[in-house]
């Protein structure tokens, strides 16, 4: 089964990103595909290379990067939501790319399920 994932919340102020990551990881481990994760609204903060959590805390941006690299997952950040929050190409973490809502529509059509995390 193919799962598209939509993350609507930021990294550390809401559980949505952690839950989305754990869902994606578990789905892949069970043999499912996750072709794309789309970050929208405050979810775009998941893509910032400026994130530096304390050493004893999880690094959510790094988690997404590693998972995407290992499993060829397209990490897409909504351009309008990113620009509203000051996220541009120059502060985008490696492995993420900025694009439009068409990428969300596309994964919604191509995936068997689109799973939404956050409001």
pLDDT in tens, 19-46: 999 999 999 999 999 999 999 999 999 9
E strands, 8-119, in order: 33-39, 74-78, 96-99, 113-117
**Positions marked catalytic:** 78
Domain enclosing residue 56, as ranges: 2-117
Sequence-distant (6+) residues with CB within 8 A of 80 are 100, 101
Assign residue 33 the CATH number of its domain: 3.40.1260.10
User: How many structural domains does the chain have?
Assistant: 1
pLDDT in tens, 56-84: 889 999 999 999 999 999 999 999 999 99
**% of the chain beyond a pLDDT of 70:** 100
What rounded mean pLDDT belongs to the chain? 96
Question: What pLDDT score does 56 carry?
Answer: 85
Please, what is the Cα angle at 17 between 12 and 20, to 5 degrees? 160
Are the CB atoms for 117 and 11 separated by under 8 Å? no
38 DSSP β-pair partners? 6, 76
């Amino acid at each position: 089964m193919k799962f598209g994932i939509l993350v609507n919340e930021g990294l550390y102020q809401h559980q949505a990103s952690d839950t989305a990551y754990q869902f994606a990881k578990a789905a892949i481990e069970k043999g499912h595909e996750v072709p794309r994760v789309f970050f929208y609204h405050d979810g775009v903060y998941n893509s910032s290379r400026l994130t530096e959590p304390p050493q004893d805390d999880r690094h959510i941006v790094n988690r997404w990067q590693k998972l995407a690299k290992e499993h060829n997952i397209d990490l897409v950040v909504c351009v309008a939501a990113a620009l509203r929050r000051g996220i541009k190409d120059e502060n985008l973490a490696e492995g993420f790319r900025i694009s439009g809502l068409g990428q969300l529509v596309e994964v919604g059509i191509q995936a068997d399920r689109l799973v939404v995390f956050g409001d």
